[in-house]
Amino acid sequence: MLKQERYRHFVEYFSKNQPNAVTELHYNSPYELLVAVILSAQCTDKRINQVTPALFKRFPDAAALAASDADEIFTYIRSVSYPNNKTKHLAGMAKMLVERFNGVVPSDLNELQLLPGVGRKTANVIASVVFDAPAIAVDTHVFRVANRIGLTTRATTPLAVEKQLVQFLPENTLAIAHHWLILHGRYICVARTPKCEICPLTWFCKYYEQHNTETALLKAETVKIKKAKDAKKKKALNAISKELAKRSVDKDI
């Protein structure tokens, strides 16, 4: 199947079945989403949603967060992964947001990436979710699922995956495709063993096609080996029978 066809089926399927896919992180403002996304690196959205209500209550905006000290921030996020680093990132991000951007989250990708704790992926999430920009963030789920389905070819880095998705996806689907791929990767096309048996994308998934072809070839090879063994066994038995019959004739004589 051609790559373009896979893209067409991918967009058609998800547009029809998940037209309103959104992030599972809870937030009420660009500032809150920025904080939640920084915290979510290598951590589950579920865990982040457990800590952010108290965090946002204590620090409702960038000014409040910037005025706090690191020890206090740490007490609110100690249960997420890498709390020390993330404390530093949040404190630095809030400070820069206040001093350089008047406390307002910028929409520009380059400006976003100036903020501590904000890399290309986080900047793309903010740009697409908050500002509806035609951008797609590539996290571990997006990277894996796009490769497995065959939306990307020989893309070994998140940036390479991002470039191919931007090239082939219709611009107006870029932002939502990020959520389609994340949710599919989180619940069906999981990292260790993808749940192909319940996946609705098998008919255009490259991984499924290759995996099943390999399984079918393996099965055919096993049958071939068994047949050869059976034939050899049969031949040996025939030889023994013949020999026995010959001996019986010799004895009678």
DSSP 44: -
Least separation in angstroms between residue 209's CB and ligand SF4 is 9
Least separation in angstroms between residue 170's CB and ligand SF4 is 20
Check residue 194 for interaction with ligand SF4 (CB under 6 A): yes
The piece of 45-53, 64-72, 134-142, 202-210 that touches ligand SF4 (CB under 6 A) is 202-210
CA distance readout (Å), 229 to 218, 221, 233, 234, 240: 17, 12, 6, 9, 17
Check residue 12 for interaction with ligand SF4 (CB under 6 A): no
Query: d(Cα 27, Cα 62) in Å, to the nearest integer?
Result: 14
Check residue 207 for interaction with ligand SF4 (CB under 6 A): yes
Check residue 208 for interaction with ligand SF4 (CB under 6 A): yes
Residue 242 identity (one-letter amino acid)? K
Least separation in angstroms between residue 171's CB and ligand SF4 is 23
205 is in an annotated binding site: yes
Under 8 Å CB-to-CB from 60, ≥6 apart: which residues? none
Give the active site residue among 16, 45, 69, 139.
Answer: 139
**Is residue 79 a contact partner of residue 47, using CB atoms and an 8 Å limit?**
yes
Check residue 202 for interaction with ligand SF4 (CB under 6 A): yes
For ligand SF4, the binding residues in 172-191 under the rule CB under 6 A are 188-189
Phi, psi of 82 (to 5 degrees): 50, 55
Least separation in angstroms between residue 203's CB and ligand SF4 is 9
User: Is 139 noted as a catalytic residue in this protein?
Assistant: yes
Query: d(Cα 251, Cα 247) in Å, to the nearest integer?
Result: 6
* Per-residue tokens: 4: 């373009």
From candidates 38, 39, 174, 205, binder to ligand SF4 by CB under 6 A:
205
User: Is 121 noted as a catalytic residue in this protein?
Assistant: yes
- Taking each helix axis from N to C terminus, what angle separates 120-131 and 158-168, rounded to the nearest 10 degrees? 30
43 is in an annotated binding site: no
CB nearer to ligand SF4: pick between 36 and 177: 177
Query: d(Cα 67, Cα 59) in Å, to the nearest integer?
Result: 9
**Is residue 27 a contact partner of residue 53, using CB atoms and an 8 Å limit?**
no
Dihedral angle sign, alpha carbons of residues 82, 78, 86, 53: positive
Check residue 148 for interaction with ligand SF4 (CB under 6 A): yes
Give the active site residue among 45, 88, 121, 242.
Answer: 121
* Per-residue tokens: 226: 């068994």
196 is in an annotated binding site: yes
List contacts with ligand SF4 (CB under 6 A).
Answer: 148-149, 188-189, 194-196, 199, 201-202, 205, 207-208
